[in-house]
Amino acid sequence: MRIHENTHPGRSNGLHIRLKNWLVVLNLLLAAATAAQSYMADGRLHLFPRPAAVVGAPDPVRSLDGNWEINLNPSSRFFNDRAASADWKIIKVPGEAMMQGFKIVHDTAFVYRKRVAVPKGTKGRRHLIRFNGVYNHANVFFNGHFVRRHFGGFTAWDADVTAFVKPGQDNWLHISITDRADDISYASGYAGHPVGGITRKVQYLILPDNPVQYLYVNAGLANNYTAGTLNIEARLLKPGNAKLEYELADASGKTIRGTMRVLTPSGNCWTDSTGFPGVRTWTAETPYRYTLTLRVIQDGVVQQTILQKIGFRNIEINTDHELLINGKTVKLRGACRHDMHPLLGRSTNREQDSIDVLLAKEANMNFIRTSHYPPSEDFLEFCDRYGLYVQEETAVCFALGWRTERYLKYQTENNPEYTGRYLGQLSEMIDRDRNHAAVIMWSIGNESNYGSNFQKEYEFVKMVDPGRPVSWSFPTNALNQNKRCFDILVSHYPRWNGAGSDLGKYEKNMQAEYPIIGDEWAHVSCYNTSLTTYDPNAKDAWGKSLDSMWMYRFDVKGYLGGAIWGMIDETFMMKDTMVGYGPWGIVDVWRRKKAEFWNAKKAYSPVRLDVGNYTINGNKLSIPVHNRFDHTSLKAVAATVTRGSRTVPLILPDVPPHQKATVTVPVSPADAFVLIRFKGKDGGLIDEERIVLKVRPAEDFKKHTAVWEVEKGPGRILLKSGNARVMINSKTGEIEEAGTGAGMLITGNPGPVINRPKDAGVLKNTEAVFSGQYKISTFSFDQKAPDQFVLHSQGMVDSFPAEMTTVLYADGRMELSYIIEGVPPYTWDVGIGLPVSSSLDKISWRRKGYWTTYPKEHLSAIEGSASKTGDGIEQYGVKPQFATTRAMQAFVLTRGTDALHLVPMPATEIYRAKKENFYHYAVSGKAGTIQVRSDGTQAAKMTVQTDGSQQLLISDKWDYWTLSWGNYQGIRNKGEKIAGNTFLQLK
């Protein structure tokens, strides 16, 4: 029997099973908690602080993660079902059900169960099952008894099973879960599948009978940010005669003198405020934490011990609309993060959370936006520990007309029947996370229409936690109605250069009334699959967008910073299909670094050398530097300089945060380059710059004495020499093939190329319009010298008039010149294409990069080589053991849907990616080598078709139209004529 739920919020939301004890027990629970509801909403319960020790319970917190059982067809009395049967299957917790092959259905309940061992000797204690995330509506049963229900998939909550436990025995826990389409988070909607399941860890807690119900700690600063102020508010669940004592210890474990405080409750509540002179402060750059130890003592016995890590810091917004942390202006450089597990979907665990925080720090971020729901508590703990500012967002998303049809009928922003859910989940988020130093602002929802429920959310936050500012998007929906439900103005996808924003005058803070944050900016290339499939270098080109986005805004007062969309790819690989919005992260779901990762690290570097404006005076190299740290002097940064084979320390000047100065480096006339590296306190690389002092120009081709031997036959002209061989069709004027003694390298006629998007203005994908063949209308031949044969032609490329001159040298050199008329405004590539042998399978290059250094495996390394094929084939459920650049597949988002495909590619990503501003480029194989020389103003790429045919494209003009989303895309073609020259040699 399937169990269906009524999804109308105005009616009963219970299962269609009438059990009288449900409501009886629920009313008892609510009655017990009534006195403690001042900070909660919608009848929600405070989350009991996790204990470090409980008298009589040697292991007060136990994990219930691991193997559970799931039943998609539960009986009407599933809560008493304890027998093994074919209907009960093994499922991993935490983790999505569908990601593990279980086909759940919207608005239809399914059931999990687990046997729980309750320790002997725990009678008289309070027993809780803590669910840290169940998507999205749950009903809990213990030993066949209904315990409670819960709305919302991303907040932690407790099921108090004390009344039903059987100590010393196996107990049965059942939880009925429904992925309801009316959930205000819309998380299943934008995930493209029902997310339902136990997606975060489950714990079994044993507490005293009268435990601490909540502990709120505010660790601020006073006396010009030199002294700490510790405000504590704690409450017992029930009135009692217990005393509370607490002490504070520093990071070494040393107790701060005078911190032991013994408090007598007023009723069942304690409050205290204490000052601590000379504390060390918490910032993202110096995440110093103290340990607060709190003990509850009754009748001389310590009933419960709670440990809380805290950081002393202040959050302010000044009259210039700047965000201040501990009195200093802070600029936020970060990314938007989703929970993404490669095998378990919208799920997370402690290991994954720690990896994400460390990756963010490695990418020079100091900020994470938790889109579009609260993160796990583990994630926030790691943000506290390693230093990341957090904009924590409640689980309300797309409360507007963008939802897909199934969800569109639920309009919630003004509906009072949903107010409880808005405020309830919000209060649970704040209740759990308000003590975290990392959380510096709350977000009350993502990309929604203004409504009364958002207004009530804002007013609730200002009542219970007025010290943190509030953001919300889209703010213009409120401003247009003369409403305010935010402290910080949110801008989504501002233009890379600050011009033309959705916020108009607010974008560059001209006449701004609020501080501004671009908490979604620099969208990683994802939707425009036609472009990225054709040219994976779009991933590297995106870096200029982020760099420009940040540089244009860093010095703007009141512009707080922004967050890349996004940090992790949104690719749900299920057992038999794949969905999601696509590869929009700087890392993939396996946390492999993509090309975008290095771009983020460089663009967000807190130490910025202006390498384009250095000067040399004698033996001193002077480079402008910008200290983009918020709380760290440049003098505190470890630096080295490498000249030749010698690396020595570099003493940096004492430059305050946000200030500019000059770095001086000793050099000598023999130095070809200088490599400067900056490292953090942990020894990790912050940034590096390689300044080339002696530019190595493009090498000229070596000329050989050779002459052409010309053989003319019916319709053919054959040119032969000791170094080259060229076959020309004398009827069409086309080169049919060209090569050396080793084999044919060019397999068709070189011709002008115009590749372009069908629609350059789209936010998502557009069809690619690839250049057709060069159709010659008139041509002529001329042998100017014994070693030179010239082909001149005129014709059309698609609808564009073109002409071309090719000079063939007997030593294997070729010079190709073209002119194209009527070039449209928006193009991807304008240049010359050479059909080349499919046997060529390696490339090598040397180029001038946007950055002065790149990692070795980066698809846009300054120097490198790559093979056409490799072992880069992904398998479902198996972590790839190769770099993303070596992949032989690409994610393609089906046009008009959220269905993803992992499409085979005929060559690796690094082989197909354009190499911009090259000096040397070569493609080689058994048939020989084609070498191309340039002055750094051209780009080269290999295009490989599914049939194995290849084209070498040399571009004189290239752009990335359809990166869109405010990104830098290129320069519009101003004229209608483009000309170019290509120099190459066959060897």
Give the per-residue SS3 of 528-573. CHHHHHHCCCHHHHHHHHHHHHHHHHHCCCCEEEEEECCCECEEEE
- Alpha-carbon span 446 to 425, nearest angstrom: 14
- Alpha-carbon span 391 to 490, nearest angstrom: 12
593: which DSSP letter? Answer: B
Handedness of CA 902, 906, 909, 913 (dihedral sign): negative
- Alpha-carbon span 489 to 317, nearest angstrom: 12
Bridge partners of 269, per DSSP, are 235, 266
* pLDDT for the residue 250: 96
* pLDDT for the residue 29: 33
Which H or E element spans position 25? Answer: helix 20-33
Residue with the two structure tokens 């005129």 = 794
Q: Flag residues of the chain having pLDDT under 70.
A: 1-37, 500-512, 697-698, 895-898
Q: How many angstroms from the chain centroid is the CA of residue 389?
A: 15
Residue with the two structure tokens 């209740």 = 431
- Six token digits for residue 372: 């579009």
Residues 6+ positions from 247 with CB-CB distance below 8 Å: 255, 256, 259, 260, 261, 292, 293
> 755: closest CA among 942, 947, 957?
957
* pLDDT for the residue 209: 94
Helix 538-554 / helix 595-603 crossing angle, nearest 10 deg: 20
- Alpha-carbon span 144 to 161, nearest angstrom: 11
Residue 537, CA atoms < 13 Å, CB-side half-sphere: 23
* pLDDT for the residue 875: 83
- Alpha-carbon span 395 to 439, nearest angstrom: 16
- Alpha-carbon span 168 to 170, nearest angstrom: 7
Q: Are 531 and 518 in contact (CB under 8 A)?
A: no
> 735: closest CA among 744, 743, 726?
726
456: which DSSP letter? Answer: H
- Outline where DSSP puts E strands in 192-242: 197-198, 202-207, 212-222, 227-236
Which H or E element spans position 359? Answer: helix 350-362
* pLDDT for the residue 349: 93
Residue 459: Cβ within 10 Å count: 13
Q: Are 288 and 282 in contact (CB under 8 A)?
A: yes
Which H or E element spans position 662? Answer: strand 660-666
Q: Are 371 and 337 in contact (CB under 8 A)?
A: yes
Q: What is the pLDDT of residues 788-820, one digit of tens each?
A: 999 999 999 999 999 999 999 999 999 999 999
Q: What is the pLDDT of residues 894-940, one digit of tens each?
A: 755 567 888 899 999 999 999 999 999 999 999 999 999 999 999 99
- Alpha-carbon span 394 to 183, nearest angstrom: 13
Query: Residue 273: which region, alpha, beta or left (left: phi > 0; alpha: psi -120 to 50)?
Result: beta
* pLDDT for the residue 895: 58
- Alpha-carbon span 927 to 956, nearest angstrom: 27
* pLDDT for the residue 556: 87
- Alpha-carbon span 753 to 954, nearest angstrom: 9
Q: Are 570 and 862 in contact (CB under 8 A)?
A: no
- Alpha-carbon span 886 to 594, nearest angstrom: 11
Alpha-carbon torsion, ordered 960, 962, 965, 968, to 10 deg? 20
789: which DSSP letter? Answer: E
